[in-house]
């Protein structure tokens, strides 16, 4: 029965499979990138135990509206040219975040490629941080 449905409606089957892959691909790609993805709870543990550099890669306006305590701002679009500002932290853990975790994932990949040893991406970004009731600085 299922085989005949797929045979008669192969284009629906192909579209369903393609849609499913499109939905889960970003998650798969992040896991395969080798960049550890930390939820807010794990990020707090990292902050309390290891004193990482907290790097915010959002825009200046987003940063001004509220950011994680002690965060340094280098917008993603400027990171390639300003990465030298972080060279003294190559041996220290770096917690990268943005609004949702997507820009920060790209930033984390850039940092790893530049030789930074421990780079972590915060899943969900500042949105998840706020949702968890964690404080922001202005």
Cβ neighbours of 78 (radius 10 Å): 13
Is 54 domain-assigned? yes
Q: Are 55 and 109 in the same domain? A: yes
Whether the Cβ atoms of residue 37 and residue 121 lie closer than 8 Å to each other = yes
Q: Are residues 21 and 67 in the same domain?
A: no
Query: Quick check: 120 and 95 in contact, CB under 8 A?
Result: yes
For residues 15 and 42, membership in a common domain is answered with no
Whether residues 5 and 64 fall in one domain: no
Residue 138 maps to a domain? no
Is the domain of 91 the same as that of 109? yes
Can you spell out the DSSP letters for 93-133? Answer: -EEEE-SSSHHHHHHHHHHHHTT-S-EEEETTHHHHHHHTT
Please state the pTM of the whole predicted model: 0.79
Instruction: Tell me the per-residue pLDDT of 56-92, one tens digit each, with 9 for 90 and over.
Output: 999 999 999 999 999 999 999 999 999 999 999 999 9
pLDDT digits (tens, 9 = 90+) for 33-63: 689 999 999 999 999 999 999 999 999 999 9
- Residue 27 main-chain phi, psi, to 5 deg: -65, -45
């Amino acid at each position: 029965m299922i085989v005949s449905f797929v045979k008669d409606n192969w284009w629906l089957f192909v579209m369903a499979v393609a849609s499913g892959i499109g939905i889960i691909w970003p998650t798969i790609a992040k896991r395969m990138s080798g960049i550890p993805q930390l939820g807010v709870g794990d990020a707090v543990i990292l902050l309390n135990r290891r004193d990482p550099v907290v790097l915010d890669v959002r825009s200046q306006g987003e940063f001004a509206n509220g950011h994680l305590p002690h965060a340094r701002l280098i917008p993603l679009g400027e990171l390639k040219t300003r990465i030298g500002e972080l060279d003294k932290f190559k041996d220290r853990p770096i917690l990268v975040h943005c609004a949702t975790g997507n820009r920060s994932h790209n930033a984390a990949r850039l940092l790893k490629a530049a030789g930074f040893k421990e780079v972590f991406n915060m899943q969900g970004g500042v949105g998840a941080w706020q949702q968890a009731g964690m404080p922001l600085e202005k």
